[in-house]
Structure 1
Amino acid sequence: MITDVTATGAPAVPLQIRAHLASSTASGAPWGVALDGLLASELWHDRKARRFAQNLPIPHLVDTEVPEDLALPLARCAGAGGDSWHWAATCAFPEGAAEVEVHHWTSRFDHRAAELAVDALPTIISDRQGRYQARRMPLITTPARSLVWWAVGDLAQIRDLLAPIVAIGKKRSHGEGHVQRWEVQPVADLDPWSAAHLHPNSTLGRPTPETCLKGHTIAGDGGPGTAGLRPPYMHPLRQHDLRLPASLETLR
């Protein structure tokens, strides 16, 4: 069952969200970036900024026994009941995706910055071994003209939260995942269950409890596995046995 209001109390309607990309994006999982994770990240950054301005301590996720569910402008799907509910939003679906490209990122120890930061340095800081060695690492990216999410939520609040986001995914500082502009629009003929769970090609679009899929037909998924159900995805209490979304390999 999907609620018809968001966590903030606003009416929730089926939506399509599109991020127009400059070139490509990189994901840390076999599927795309989750919309609810993006929105929660923006809310959390705003909260941290306010606490910092007030000289208040900022809690770390690793020290949080029970993570908080931020009030996202999304509807909720009851899932398996209890704490197994999830937000009514999918992971990113790449439009016009081409074959993966292998980019590379590099890092090198900044000796000059280190000299300014400390009183004394070791005689030799090796660039070939140890903690400060130089690196040139491969990065698998998905070239696509845009990324699409489906969701059930409040259009105005989602648009406001996404507006400041200029890059998504991994290695944003290296130019990956640059967003040129956002589009958020209602989709009148899209049913709420599909908007909360499926990609535009009818494959499974988010990590989902098995109970959510009963009575519904999907075009494909990533099989069973353990994954985060809702943000913060990395916290142990968020890990569940779920049906995984279709991998990016199958969406090209």
Structure 2
Amino acid sequence: MVPLLVRAKMAAGVAHAVPWGISLDGLLASEIRGNTKAAARMAGTDYEPYSPDTVPEDLDLPLARCPGDGAEGWHWAATFAYPEDAVPGPHVQYWSARPDQQALDQMSAELPALVSERQGRYRSRVMPLPLTVCRHLVWRAVGDPAAVAELLAPIVSIGKKRSAGHGHVLSWEITEQPDADPWEFAHLHPDGSLGRTAPTACLNAADDVRTGGEGQMGLRPPYMHPACRAQVMLPAT
């Protein structure tokens, strides 16, 4: 396990919901789960999805672990995405959707005379889509460079609205940084700010690290699962 710099060359940028970037450990975990699903489908066996009622199994990622505050407060040694040479924003696009009345009629045995587009679950929507426009996204990590590169290679798009062309990745580049500080590459962005969710214990020995404050958020993937949430320091924005 060595300090790594992971760089994705982007076509135009990326769309994401939270105010900080996409997690590297989340990308790797998603790819491993996708491979496991495909293998189960090929074998004709069942694949157990995540459930809010059960604690998800921690996948074996090719990353080092930071012990955090001990016990269950550990996290993977990898940061969230940092936009390199970002174009100052804000950049906001909009997407719209409306119900297909003909399709609803074909799928339903009984349908009201009018499906309202103004209210209810089938109402029309116009939603904002915040974008980060940049040429590269950068992650720092401590891990196995060959295994990380193998998992990232098939990923051609990241973030939200990928089917609309957002988040298209042109290429991946993994560079070893053997002389770098492993703690720094596990926690901080290139500008020295906190680059991931982390327990307060991770920052006890650090001086003047800019953060996004404290709050409830996932500590490791799957980040949105209730069992993975904890009181953590949030990444700087």
- Counterpart for residue 193 of structure 2: 203
**Partner Cα separation in structure 2 for residue 67 and residue 27 of structure 1:** 24
Give the CA deviation at 1:160: 1.0
**Partner Cα separation in structure 2 for residue 152 and residue 176 of structure 1:** 28
Unaligned runs of 5+ residues in structure 2 are none
Question: Aligned partner of 1:26: which letter?
Answer: A
Give the CA deviation at 1:218: 4.5
Query: 2:138 is matched with which residue: 132, 142, 148?
Result: 148
Query: 1:16 is matched with which residue: 2, 5, 19?
Result: 5
**Partner Cα separation in structure 1 for residue 37 and residue 139 of structure 2:** 26
Query: 1:59 is matched with which residue: 48, 54, 66?
Result: 48
Unaligned runs of 5+ residues in structure 1 are 1-11, 248-252
Give the CA deviation at 1:219: 4.0
The CA RMSD measured in Å over matched residues stands at: 1.7
Give the CA deviation at 1:114: 4.0
- Counterpart for residue 66 of structure 2: 77
> What is the correspondence of 1:21-170 to structure 2 with a 5 Å cutoff?
21-98=10-87, 99-118=89-108, 121-170=111-160
**Partner Cα separation in structure 2 for residue 20 and residue 195 of structure 1:** 20
Task: Check the 8 A contact 2:52/2:226 in 1, yes or no.
Answer: no
> Cα–Cα, structure 1 residues 119 and 237, in superposed 2: closer, same or farther, change >3 Å?
closer
Whether 1:228 and 2:218 are equivalent positions in the alignment is: yes
> Cα–Cα, structure 1 residues 219 and 210, in superposed 2: closer, same or farther, change >3 Å?
closer
Structure 1 length normalisation: TM-score? 0.87
Q: Aligned with 2:231: secondary structure?
A: strand
Task: Check the 8 A contact 1:79/1:211 in 2, yes or no.
Answer: yes
> Cα–Cα, structure 1 residues 164 and 117, in superposed 2: closer, same or farther, change >3 Å?
farther
Q: Percent identity?
A: 50
Q: Deviations over 1:22-70 (max 9, x none)?
A: 1121222121111000000010111111222233222232255121000
Structure 2 length normalisation: TM-score? 0.92
Task: Check the 8 A contact 1:100/1:143 in 2, yes or no.
Answer: no
- Counterpart for residue 238 of structure 1: 228
> Cα–Cα, structure 1 residues 63 and 53, in superposed 2: closer, same or farther, change >3 Å?
farther
